[in-house]
Amino acid sequence: MGGVQPLPPDAPQRIGDYTLLAALGRGAMGSVYLARSRGGRPVAVKVAKAELADSPQFRERFRREVEMARSVGGFWTATVVGADPDAERPWMATEYVPGPTLQQAVHDFGPLPERAVRRLAGGLAEALVAIHGAGLVHRDLKPSNVLLATDGPRVIDFGIARALESSGLTEAGIVFGTPGYLSPEQVVGSKITPQSDVFALGSVLVYAATGAGPFGEGATSALVYRVVHQEPDLSRVPPGLVPLIVPCLVRDPAHRPTPARLLELIGPPSNDPSWLPAEVRTLVEQRHTQLRELPAKPPTRVMGQEAKPPTRLLVEEPPQPVSPPQPVAPAKVVGAAKVVGPVKPYTPPAKKSGAKFKTSRAVGLGWMSAHAFAALVSAGIASETSGAPNGVRAAALVAFLVFALAAVRLLVGVLRSPLTIDIGPDGIVLSNGTESRRLPWYAISRVRVDAHHSRPWVMVWLVGAAKAPESLGRGSFHTHKGGLRVYPISHERYRKRRERDVAEIRSALAWYGSSVYDPR
């Protein structure tokens, strides 16, 4: 099935000077329709949700998206042909590109061949030259924001783009971008420059060539941790593309090439107009055919229904969203509606929670057993019957006391209920298996990791009106340094595992609780 779907019954027949013909999809911010101008030109019209139209902040953001998309022009981007941010429901019309997104093409037909990835790289680099030349940083370049047209790619969605002079990571603590394609500087909160888009470009090319991003898949916290602390996985990238992609994914933005330099590395484009794989070209032709077969105007409705004959759409569920959504965006990630629909029906995944961490009885029991064994061995050496010299026996006695005390301490920990901490979009939830305590982000004034040697803790400081929860054991919610100790981070685990858990919890706090996270 193509991306063009029948208009839903509640859709308007006209937006501005454009007659709506079909639905292209529905997103978190609104709906996208295929329409015709008065002169017969096909366009894609994005219309905001009615409930968002009452928000002055949303209208300002929509107005900014229109201005920025217009400032770039149509060079490898979808040209804006009309807009009204002040309408009852703000809308924007762009040229209609009858091609799939890169994400849809790779999902349905597999990775692109090396020749096509090079052509994609050239088109995207040229688009970034135009975007940066207009004084903007896109900040959300990803496979679902790249349309594949017969003459080259198009970059869409300027919903979170920013002017260079104001392109910082946060606005009132909001983190912008998509996990897996964020640059390291976006994750840690450093200054964002045009080179941040170059990092995203490198990630997009890895996806196009392999079908997966350079930092894998998984929870948001895991993705942002890998971006900052691990090397990208380029093991499946064709060798001929590695020299082009590696410089884009350098952690230091100052050492990444500019888009103009990338164009030099790519070299002159191929003269072959059929740069897309045959399956994708066929899909594009099918969408051209659908476009030609659409009526000049939608059927007239009578009292909200079709005059003749009634369509199945009146009794079916609304059409599926236009594009397979990216990993569920936490409250801190901002995106916008997309322009084209999927080639196949898409069922959204079940809602996922945030990052979870759990204390371990098994690990504590293992360490306790090891210390108890060491204490028994030391006691045997310290015994008078061992025949060991007095100095050795004395040292063994000291070792016995140390190991025995450690074993007792670990035993106490094993007997306590394990704790689970869930750091997610709505706050922090601590559970011991029978009871839970929830700390919403609005009740927290500050949160950080108190990394004290072998006993690091998640600590929070509550707002003045918030009441400290009752303890769930293991020292949770006890006062310390004017705040509350919430969760003991891997006290029972070995050093490297503890350090890894500390790093991942910090990443989760920075992502989900960016407005209150203290990185110190």
CA separation, residue 453 to residues 76, 456, 477 (Å): 52, 7, 20
pLDDT band at 249 (very low <50, low <70, confident <90, very high): very high
Confidence (pLDDT) at 112: 95
Q: Name the more confident of 314 and 318.
A: 318
pLDDT band at 160 (very low <50, low <70, confident <90, very high): very low
Confidence (pLDDT) at 331: 34
Least trusted range by pLDDT, from 49-63, 258-272, 346-360 = 346-360
Cα–Cα distance between 429 and 439 in angstroms, integer? 6
Domain 14-295 CATH assignment equals 1.10.510.10: yes
Q: Name the more confident of 203 and 188.
A: 203
15: nearest Cα among 70, 84, 68: 84
Tens-place pLDDT, residues 363-381: 556 666 777 888 888 888 8
- Residue ranges covered by each domain of the chain: 14-295, 361-415, 420-512
Cα 193–chain centre separation: 19
Which is the catalytic residue, given 17, 108, 140, 422? 140
Structure tokens belonging to residue 403: 């190991």
Q: Check if 140 is active-site.
A: yes
518: nearest Cα among 470, 491, 494, 482: 482
CA separation, residue 29 to residues 52, 178, 310, 322, 327 (Å): 8, 16, 29, 12, 16
Confidence (pLDDT) at 197: 92
What is the SS3 assignment for 83?
strand
Q: What is the pTM of this model?
A: 0.56
